[in-house]
Amino acid sequence: MLFQRINRTDAETVFTIVYNISAATVTAGYPVVWDITSPDGVSVSKPATATLSCLVGIATSDIANSAYGKVQVYGYKASAYVTNNVTTAIAAGNILIPVDAAWTLAYGAASDGKSGLVYAAESFATATTTLLAAANKKVFIRCL
Amino acid sequence: MLFQRIQRSDPEVIYQIVYNLAASSAVITAGYPCVWSIASTVDGLAVAKPASATLSLIVGIAVQDIANSAYGKIQCYGYRASAFVTNATDQAIAAGDVLVPVNAQWYMTYSAAGDGMAGFIMSAEAVATDSAPAAANHKVFIRCL
């Protein structure tokens, strides 16, 4: 695990090393989850319905399939893939959750002071088409 | 707190040292979940058996037997191959489900399907129902920091 050395002007961040077995490249900004087909705590894959709470963090660099790479598990991140929808705008502070079979985060709930693994750090307006397009947005990560 | 040095082929894990203050001179066996003590000693070091009031104070899973009134190591982050989980007669556990401690017990049980925004312990394997439920060691993911 990688902990940034103390530097008061920078955000505190924590990273972990994972192994991509998703059969696809994990692009920087994508959320990844622990693999449950052959769990070992290293292998990660694309979010699925069963693994939404197994969120590990947000990739900080592209990770080729069957390769190791770095994932941010704590702290502020300026670019994580988030999608909007047609009914609910995302406000800064809202809880974001992974999406089944997608490499994006989406609105989960308003902040409640007791839950959440990833939070929006900026607003994201509604779109006219469902799952219009994911875009990199600012988030706070608390996946440790 | 103990952080594993980087070795990319091993799972990242984090440990911490706690003090066993469980009642009745109980030993905390490896695989047991434990919670912060809120009894006479509240110091962020003392841990005890889960109770209704302390379910959210889960610290992690013991990685070794910890004698009563002794210090020992707890895993508070990462994959663990053996944590005490009980099954039930009517609710199977699927990999990815959220597990919770149980009042007055040294094991965890099914709480809910994963929703992407909650859960300190997630099951890493399926556990079938049983007409005579019993706790046993199962694979889990821990996120208790």
Q: What does the pLDDT look like over B77-120, one tens digit per residue?
A: 999 999 999 999 999 999 999 999 999 999 999 999 999 999 99
Q: How far is A56 from chain B (nearest CA, A)?
A: 9
Q: What's residue A1's pLDDT?
A: 84
The total of other beta-carbon atoms located within 10 Å of residue A26's CB is 25
Our measurement of the distance from residue A5's CA atom to the centroid of its chain's CA atoms, rounded to an integer in Å, reads 23
Residues B73 and B107 in one domain: no
> Residue B123 is part of which domain span?
78-143
Domain count, chain A: 1
Q: Which residue has the tokens 């905390």?
A: B28
Question: Which residues have C-beta within 8 Å of that of residue A119, sequence separation ≥ 6?
Answer: A93, A94, A95, A96, A111, A139, A140, A142
Residue A132 pLDDT more than 70?
no
Please give the share of chain A, as a percent, with pLDDT higher than 70: 97
What's the mean pLDDT in A134-142? 95
Our measurement of the distance from residue B56's CA atom to the centroid of its chain's CA atoms, rounded to an integer in Å, reads 11
Interface check B3 vs A, CB under 8 A: yes
Stated as kind and residue range, the H or E segment containing A122 is none
Which one of B6, B10, B114 has the shortest CB-CB distance to A53? B114
Residues forming a β-bridge with A44: A20, A34
Residues of B in contact with A52 (CB under 8 A): 96, 114-116
In a domain, B3, yes or no: no
Interface check B79 vs A, CB under 8 A: yes
Q: What's residue A131's pLDDT?
A: 54
Which one of B6, B114, B139 has the shortest CB-CB distance to A50? B114
Residues B73 and B109 in one domain: no
Residues B82 and B102 in one domain: yes
Encode pLDDT of A60-84 as tens digits: 999 999 999 999 999 999 999 999 8
What's the mean pLDDT in B64-86? 97
The tokens for B103 are 């009042």
Residue B6 pLDDT more than 80?
no
Domain count, chain B: 2
Among the listed residues B113, B143, A125, B111, the one whose alpha carbon sits nearest the alpha carbon of residue A107: A125
Rounded-to-integer distance, Cα A49 and Cα A82, Å: 17
Q: What's residue B107's pLDDT?
A: 98
Nearest-Cα residue of chain A relative to residue B94:
A50
Rounded-to-integer distance, Cα A31 and Cα A117, Å: 11
Residues of B in contact with A97 (CB under 8 A): 115-117
Are A144 and B143 an interchain contact pair (Cβ–Cβ within 8 Å)? yes
